Amino acid sequence: MPEPMNAQLDTGLPGGAEAGAAEYSLGLMPKAEIAAFEAQLAVDTDLQQDVAAWTEYFASFTDIIPAETPPPQVLRRIEGQVFGAEDRRPVWRQVLPYLVGAVAGAAIAWVVLTSGLLETQAPTLGADLAGAEGLALDARFAPATGVLTVTLRQGDAGEGHVLELWLLPEDGAPVSLALLRGAETLVAVPPALAERMDGARLVVSEEQPGGAPDGRPSGDPRAEGVLVEE
């Protein structure tokens, strides 16, 4: 695994040095490489952090784009300037503005679909993870970006241990999402799992520094909660 980006550059950009993480976040990764990348993403927590950081970074670019709604009289003014006050116009002149509008609309739609700037934002999902031993965390999942943000509000792992976050599906084996090593952790959730996050049960366990050795939570959960629409 290459060194994290902030170990090589002083630009302050988020994510890791792997170009694949940035390409995947932008949707520019070649189709032939996506399956292998997502397979690695599902098990590599460092790569998940890279993708999450790049996704947040690129999404911030849209914050400066103001919303604009053209006034309804624009088309009438354009028709008046182009055709003047003629009472009768050839059919092609009547149709031309609509053809121009259709072409322009198709071009704008292509830009929107390929860039994702104006995608409808799905509601954020949230969960308060708590346990009997005083451990408390907040989990917020943004379906639009596929990023799960976990914030530690109270408590911590015991000495020599680390907290690990799990997704417990109703059927199937537990899925490790990330090791929670700091106050806030960003997790890039693979698309296959992102579709199952609404109503998903999240569990936090206490594990050895490298994570659960057998691929499932060790002992009783330290905290748990269910993601619901906020």
Return the axis-axis angle of helices 45-59 and 19-26, rounded to nearest 10°: 50
Please say if the pLDDT value at position 29 is more than 60. yes
Rounded Cα gap, residues 51 and 18, in angstroms? 9
Closest by alpha carbon to 140, among 130, 128, 132, 131? 128
Rounded Cα gap, residues 70 and 5, in angstroms? 42
pLDDT digits (tens, 9 = 90+) for 112-123: 666 655 555 668
Please say if the pLDDT value at position 148 is more than 90. yes
Q: What's the count of helices (H) and strands (E) in the chain, helices before strands?
A: 6, 9
Two structure tokens written together for 60:
């911030």
Burial class (CB in 10 A: 0-12, 13-18, 19+), 223: buried
The CB density around residue 51, as the number of other CB atoms within 10 Å, is 30
pLDDT digits (tens, 9 = 90+) for 54-99: 888 888 777 777 776 667 676 677 777 776 655 455 666 666 677 7
Please say if the pLDDT value at position 144 is more than 60. yes
What pTM was estimated for this model as a whole?
0.48
Q: For the chain, how many residues are written?
A: 230
Q: Are 174 and 212 in contact (CB under 8 A)?
A: no
Rounded Cα gap, residues 173 and 116, in angstroms? 33
Question: Across all residues in the chain, what is the average pLDDT?
Answer: 79
Question: DSSP secondary structure string, 202-220?
Answer: EEEEEE-TT--TTSS--SS
Two structure tokens written together for 156:
């911590």
Identify the top-confidence range among 33-37, 96-100, 144-148.
144-148
Please say if the pLDDT value at position 14 is more than 60. no
Two structure tokens written together for 99:
């053809």
